[in-house]
Amino acid sequence: MEPLQSQTAVLRDLHRALVRRRFAQIEPKLRLELAALGLLIGAFLFWHTRVSFDGLARSHGPLAVLEAAAGLCALLAALGGALAGARHAARLHDPPGPPWLALPLPPAWLARHLAWESRAFALGAIAAAPGILFAAVGLVPLWWLGLLAAAFVWMVLAGGRIGCAVAAFVMARRAPPGPGLHPLVRTLATASHPVRGAPRRGVRWRTRPAWLALCEKDLLLSLRPTSARRRLVTPLLLGLLSLWCWALPAPPALALTEAEVRALEHVSAFALALVAAATLGEWLIALSGEDPFMVLRGLPLGVGVIWGSRALWAMAFAAALVLAHAASARPLAPEARLVFLVWTGGAALAIALLGANYGVTLFPRAEIAQRLYALSLGLAVAGSLMIPLMGWIVLLAGLIHSALRLPGWTRLEEPA
């Protein structure tokens, strides 16, 4: 029993130290911003659930409200567990940090630690629960809500464990068999790593502008087995799908008129173009995570050159979308096509630039940048659902705020 107690104590101390250090690495302003995002998400959920809960309470009584709130909490817990499982699968496929198998630790310890790291993503669902619970205040007894809150926390923790267990099982099944080896050892031993072989040709030193050299470096990183290459495929495919919307035939079963078909093509192409721009922003953040901190900071480059090289990719993608849709959106009238192109190009550029801003201002913490980027876009979508055009105001506010943080690039420190 003593080794098990010792293992539990060591892991508990390690996790506490990691939580304290990572919390200390978050700037006070960033903490306030995260708290504000959480409050806005809660307010959005309260806004949309209070009316529904009130109607349920009047027609079916408080028990129906409790059942609806419990269903929403269960859905949030399931989404958190799925997110933790997806993150754990990605971590096992391409493990960050030190070479885990080289550490003098038992595989069971490593499995528990890596699962703990991934389960943190499931805790994000807790931020959305207060809005649902407060929406039921006054409609059901308070002690019912207390029990539901406790059950929700348990569901989130259990969902994270289940998601990570499923991801570990799936990744172990994909790994080659190894008699007598722990499943985690087989999984990590076959994880993908960048190829570090000798160059196929001699290095040639050439003189070129700094921004062009950085763009070429980003392109090379995207062609090699890195996280940036995996994220580049998605925006390209979504961009092509947005173009295909203009040639997609309407389902005969819907019996749509010509105007309804054009409206469906218009909305689908615009939505897919925005999603493509959002995934391009994730690619730009992944590029920032591939840069070695000390190497990049040691170069005589200012934040304008570094940010400008990433902004060029965003501008090029937005311009390519506009030109491609200008040639594909033939069914639209000239005036409608012009409005569509302006909105598509402007929105795609703003979304991609937001990703570039987060990648630079939070360098080299690419994971934190990805989370804040997803939160900002989710908040913009929530704002649009609450009040028309509110999402665009939220997006522009996030873009301006992140741009104002760019001068602080010189004060960034490498995470411990």
Which pair of structure tokens corresponds to residue 312?
A: 């060029």
Q: Is residue 235 part of a domain?
A: yes
* In the predicted structure, residue 200 carries a pLDDT above the cut 90: no
134 and 79, same structural domain? Answer: yes
Q: Do both 181 and 221 map to the same domain? A: no
Residues 77, 156 within the same domain: yes
Indicate if 146 and 233 belong to the same structural domain: no
Among residues 12, 29, 162, 32, the alpha carbon closest in space to that of 84 is found at 162
pLDDT for position 333: 81
Whether the pLDDT of residue 145 is over 50: the answer is: yes
Nearest to 320 by CA among 353, 344, 356: 344
Q: Is residue 129 situated within a structural domain?
A: yes
Judge if pTM exceeds 0.85: no
Compare 74 and 194 and report the one with higher pLDDT. 74
Note whether residue 404 is domain-resident. yes
Q: What confidence category does residue 258 fall into, taking pLDDT thresholds of 50, 70 and 90?
A: low
77/183 same-domain check: yes
User: What token pair was written down for 152?
Assistant: 């929700």
- Whether 1 maps to a domain, the answer reads no
Identify whether 7 is part of a domain.
no
Nearest-10 crossing angle of helices 334-361, 303-328: 160
Q: Crossing angle, helix 334-361 and helix 366-386, to 10 degrees? A: 140
Q: Is the confidence at residue 56, as pLDDT, over 70? A: yes
pLDDT band at 193 (very low <50, low <70, confident <90, very high): low
- pLDDT for residue 197: 47
What is the rounded CA–CA span in Å between residue 137 and residue 298? 55
Residues 234 and 286 in one domain: yes
Comparison of pLDDT for 2 and 208, the residue scoring more: 208
Q: What is the mean pLDDT of residues 189-212?
A: 63
Whether 250 and 314 map to the same domain: the answer is yes
Residues 281, 323, single domain; the answer is yes
The per-residue pLDDT for range 173-189, each reduced to its tens digit, is: 888 887 777 888 888 87
Q: In which band, very low, low, confident or very high, does the pLDDT at 129 lie, cut at 50, 70 and 90?
A: confident
Closest CA to 318 of 278, 263, 370, 285: 278
- Evaluate whether residue 202 is within a structural domain: no
- Asked whether residue 215 is assigned to any structural domain, the reply reads yes
**pLDDT value for 195:** 46
Please report whether residue 2 resides in a domain: no
Regarding whether 279 and 143 lie in a shared domain, the answer is: no
Confidence check: pLDDT of 331 > 70? yes
pLDDT for residue 16 is more than 80: yes
Over range 29-33, report the average pLDDT: 70
| Position 194 pLDDT exceeds 70 | no
The domain tally of the chain equals 2
- Taking only the tens place, the pLDDT of each residue in 234-246 is 999 999 999 888 8
pLDDT averaged over the chain?
82
Q: How confident is the model at residue 1 (pLDDT cuts 50, 70, 90)?
A: very low
Do residues 168 and 218 share a domain?
A: no
pLDDT at residue 398 is higher than 80 = yes
Of 48-52, 132-136, 264-268, 390-394, give the range with the top mean pLDDT: 132-136
Looking at the structure, tell me whether residues 73 and 131 fall in a common domain: yes
Task: Identify the residue whose tokens are 């392109």.
Answer: 219
73 in the same domain as 216:
no
| Enclosing domain of residue 363 | 210-411
Of all residues in the chain, the percent with pLDDT exceeding 70 is: 87
Tokens 């269960």 found at: 74
